[in-house]
Amino acid sequence: MTTGIDEARPEQPPEEDAYALDRRTVTAILYAVDVGDRAKLIELMEPLHAADIADLLEQINPYDRTSLIRLYDKEFDGDILSELDEALREEVIGVLKPDVLAEAVRDMESDDVVDLLEDLEEPQQETILDALEDSERIAAEQALSYPENSAGRLMQREVVMAPEHWTVGQAIDFMRAKDDLPEQFYHVVLVDPRLRPIAHVMLGKLMAARREVPLIDLTEPNFHTIPVDQDEEDVAYAFNQYHLISAPVVDADGRLVGVITMDDAMVVLEEEYEEDMLRLAGVSDESSLSDSVAATSKRRLPWLGVNLVTAICGSLVISQFEAAIDQLVALAILMPIVASMGGNAGTQSLTVAVRALATRDLTGSNVGRVIRRELLVGLLNGLCFAIVLGVVGMMWFASPLLGVVIGSALVVNMIIAGFAGTVVPVVLDRLGVDPALASGTFVTTTTDVMGFFVFLGLASVVLL
């Protein structure tokens, strides 16, 4: 028997859709845009987080996107711009009115402004720079002068700092009197007279201490400074490795020039992860769901061409055993199994190795042990599947020797796959080539060519 409460209870959405945009809301927004009802559009958009609005803009078609931006007009803020996918940001900026764009940019933190500027063409950069105050423009131009993907591009200029001799009371009075504090910050950085950071104090400790307590007595033991020209991958690694919340950025003289916070470092980690995933699949790391057909095709074409060349290499190996295949058709039926199993095993080893290189867990000191482990894993897995495949070969083609041949070939190729999947990315990394970008092609080619060669070679010697 159901109660009125049970009947009235709304249906719970699936857990995986907990943070997805509600379809009814999206439909209502698009209808408001279609009829030009700006008041209704603002009412519907008001509860949405900037990230949700960015997702909405990325999901709808270009015509609806342009119409929505123009109708939303002055309600469009900088948080939405910072959440947009880079591939779409330039299009949206081109639609925004100059005064709306200027107001949106003024509300952004300095690191978000730099992130926005570095992906734009020079005319659009000038439009945004002209909208900034003189001091903000100088700061943005200085940040852009640092190397791409460096800490100088990633940091925000807004820093809360205090002399090392101050007390808690002096720091609190200073922050209360200051009207341009960062929207989010976690530490007060202590500096010496030459503006060199020497320690930092967490806000929680500061607020819990008595006014007369010296700040130097509340400093955190986990204190790291980041050189302004350090690569952002190294910055993200430091945050992840040492569990940092924020870290001051220093110039060549050790003076404080900015601060990097945990959210910025996590964005870098996420981007690196996505980049590796895309490159492992032979897809450009600039790919996006909002890309045009022509742009998507252009980015994917080169790697498909490389794969075609590697496939031809495999075919050339097969052609060397044409006579053997003519005499025993079963070889043509079974040889893709050997190559496919080796390719999958190689991809597994490759994925683990690339990830370990990215997190710096795979180093010169343990690479030998990891290679030996992958060889043994390949041997063990190869033996397991060789028994299964050998039995299948014998039952299918009534040839015990054929079962032995394909089982032996599978074991050899699985060992080769484990070796190539680990060694190839390590060698590419030592040569300064991104292992995520090129490893997949080399590993697949190795397992295909060796799989065909070993299987057909053994078959030629044993069966013919």
Of the candidates 221, 219, 244, 203, the one whose C-alpha atom is nearest the C-alpha of residue 164 is 219
Residue 4 has pLDDT above 60, yes or no: no
Residue 70's pLDDT band (cuts 50, 70, 90)? very high
State CA 165 to chain mean position distance. Answer: 42
Q: What are phi and psi of 353, to 5 degrees?
A: -65, -45
Tens-place pLDDT, residues 215-265: 999 999 889 999 999 999 899 889 988 889 999 999 999 999 999 998 888
What pLDDT shows up at residue 337?
A: 85
Residue 8 has pLDDT above 60, yes or no: no
More confident residue, 395 or 216: 216
More confident residue, 55 or 291: 55
What pLDDT shows up at residue 274?
A: 67
What pLDDT shows up at residue 11?
A: 47
d(CA 265, CA 228): 14
Helices (H), 110-231: 110-117, 122-131, 134-144, 151-154, 168-177, 203-208
CA dihedral 224, 119, 306, 362 (to 10 degrees): 10
Longest dimension (CA), the chain: 94
What pLDDT shows up at residue 278?
A: 60
Of the candidates 453, 336, 460, the one whose C-alpha atom is nearest the C-alpha of residue 402 is 460
Within the chain, all domains assigned CATH 1.10.357.20 are found at 293-462
Q: Which helix (H) or strand (E) holds 410?
A: helix 400-430
What pLDDT shows up at residue 276?
A: 63
Residue 140's pLDDT band (cuts 50, 70, 90)? confident
Residue 277's pLDDT band (cuts 50, 70, 90)? low
CB 422 within 8 A of CB 353: yes
Q: What is the mean pLDDT of residues 105-123?
A: 79
More confident residue, 220 or 116: 220
Of the candidates 288, 293, 290, the one whose C-alpha atom is nearest the C-alpha of residue 278 is 288
DSSP 392: H
Residue 33's pLDDT band (cuts 50, 70, 90)? very high
Within the chain, all domains assigned CATH 3.10.580.10 are found at 161-280
Arithmetic mean of pLDDT over the chain: 83
What pLDDT shows up at residue 193?
A: 93
Of the candidates 366, 352, 373, the one whose C-alpha atom is nearest the C-alpha of residue 276 is 352
The secondary structure of the chain in percent helix, strand, coil, rounded to multiples of 5, reads 65, 5, 25
CATH 3.30.565.10 fits 161-280, yes or no: no
* Class (C level, CATH) for 19-145: mainly alpha
Terminal Cα distance for the chain, rounded: 75
Instruction: List the structure tokens of 74.
Output: 């002055």
Q: Which CATH superfamily is domain 293-462 in?
A: SLC41 divalent cation transporters, integral membrane domain (1.10.357.20)
Q: What is the mean pLDDT of residues 147-155?
A: 90
What pLDDT shows up at residue 3?
A: 44
Tens-place pLDDT, residues 293-303: 676 676 666 66
What pLDDT shows up at residue 208?
A: 93
Residue 389 has pLDDT above 90, yes or no: no
Instruction: List the structure tokens of 356.
Output: 């370990």
Global pTM value? 0.62
Within the chain, all domains assigned CATH 1.25.60.10 are found at 19-145
According to DSSP, the residues that pair with 250 across neighbouring strands are: 227, 256
